[in-house]
Amino acid sequence: MADTAATTELVITRVFDAPRELVYRAFTDPDQLAQWFGPVGFSVPRDTVDIDARVGGHQRFTMVSDHDPAMSSTVNATFTEVVENELLVGTETAEGVPGVAEGTVFSLRVEFHDEDGRTRLVLRQGPYTAEMEGMARAGWLSSFGKLDTLLAG
């Protein structure tokens, strides 16, 4: 029997070989976000990205399948807490997400910690069903591989 209760929080801790100011900027600068967000096989067209990184501000963009452009997912999140170079917290209401009830509210918390010139990022997102948590984890880890490449450039 499948777990249909959305009670699981996704938690990922990842160290990036870049100062936290650069990692934070990759999340808040539309040009950079368009270069790394989305798992391999998906891209974010720059003209879909709009970010206003302040309390009450927003993060909006569309992730599109490279193989089937008709397959896309829109993100429309609102920031509830913002501390420059340290913290981004927000909520997003699900719209058209396969396997997720319309109107489901997800939270996202991204912490940026300095680790001797590198950045320890702690990401929390949910609630998810166990199945959706696994898919979200895979998506973030694939995206973070693309972010590693961007930060190394």
65 belongs to a structural domain: yes
**Domain harbouring 112, CATH code:** 3.30.530.20
Say whether pLDDT at 36 is over 90: yes
1 belongs to a structural domain: no
* Phi-psi domain of 3 (left: phi exceeds 0; alpha: psi -120 through 50; beta: other): beta
Angle at Cα 116 formed by Cα 110 and Cα 119, nearest 5°? Answer: 20
- Tens of pLDDT, residue by residue over 79-118, are 999 999 999 999 998 776 666 777 889 999 999 999 999 9
132 belongs to a structural domain: yes
Distance CA 80, CA 55 (A): 5
Q: What is the mean pLDDT of residues 142-149?
A: 98
User: 35 near 52, Cβ under 8 Å?
Assistant: no
The count of structural domains within the chain is 1
Say whether pLDDT at 21 is over 50: yes
- Tens of pLDDT, residue by residue over 54-66, are 999 999 999 999 9
| Domain of 58, in residue numbers | 8-152
Q: How high is the pLDDT of residue 76?
A: 92
